[in-house]
């Protein structure tokens, strides 16, 4: 069983499974503030740490993220463990949103919300991470900062994305 934190909504209409970014876990200020704000909108928010982040917190020492396949497996396991009596939405901050978006099609989730999507590594715009967005059939909302080094506004307009993917700045 994967350890989770839950922000319960007063009158929940859905559950949002919220994954952290590469450098800060489920307890970061950003994750806490966003979870509180989303729960205030009557959506339960379930936060978790990927295995590498859990270990980093236990050891008190930063660690790099696990390989992509391990991150995907961890998120899949969690999705199989949670209560799905309410509609499920998945997403996350940066890396967490990327992992969620890659799982969206095979999951029972209704949609995905990415808070800062890492379209490419910093200073490597030729190494796009958008292939899975070409044929996605469920709605994806990407909330992107205009100067985010993983994909700036002027770059994103040139990306080939499914019509289900909406980018907002």
pLDDT digits (tens, 9 = 90+) for 15-30: 999 999 999 999 999 9
Whether 42 shows a pLDDT value over 90: the answer reads yes
pLDDT digits (tens, 9 = 90+) for 45-104: 999 999 999 999 999 999 999 999 999 999 999 999 999 999 999 999 999 999 999 999
Non-local CB neighbours of 134 within 8 Å, separated by 6+ positions? 160, 161, 162
**pTM for this model (two decimals):** 0.95
The pLDDT, as a whole number, for residue 147 is: 82
Whether 130 shows a pLDDT value over 90: the answer reads yes
Burial of 98 (0-12, 13-18, 19+ CB in 10 A): buried
What distance in Å separates the CA atoms of residue 44 and residue 140, rounded to the nearest whole number? Answer: 19
What distance in Å separates the CA atoms of residue 5 and residue 19, rounded to the nearest whole number? Answer: 11
DSSP string, 123-136: T-TTS---GGGSS-
Count of other CB atoms within 10 angstroms of residue 50: 25
The CA distances from residue 85 to 14, 47, 141, in Å, are: 9, 18, 23
pLDDT digits (tens, 9 = 90+) for 105-115: 999 999 999 99
């Amino acid at each position: 069983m994967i350890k989770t934190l839950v922000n319960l909504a007063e009158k929940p209409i859905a559950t949002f499974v919220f994954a952290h970014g590469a450098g800060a876990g489920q307890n970061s200020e950003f994750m806490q503030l966003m979870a509180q704000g989303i729960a205030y909108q009557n959506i339960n928010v379930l936060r978790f740490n990927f295995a590498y982040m859990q270990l980093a917190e236990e050891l008190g020492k930063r660690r790099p993220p696990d390989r992509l396949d391990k991150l995907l497996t961890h998120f899949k396991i969690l999705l199989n463990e949670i209560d799905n009596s309410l509609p499920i939405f998945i997403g996350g901050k940066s890396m967490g949103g990327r992992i969620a978006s890659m799982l969206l099609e095979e999951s029972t989730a209704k949609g995905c919300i990415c808070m800062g999507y890492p379209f490419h590594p910093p200073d490597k715009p030729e190494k796009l991470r958008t292939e899975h967005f070409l044929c996605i059939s469920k709605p994806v909302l990407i909330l992107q900062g205009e100067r985010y080094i993983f994909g700036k506004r002027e770059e994103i307009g040139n990306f080939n994305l499914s019509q289900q993917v909406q980018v907002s700045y």
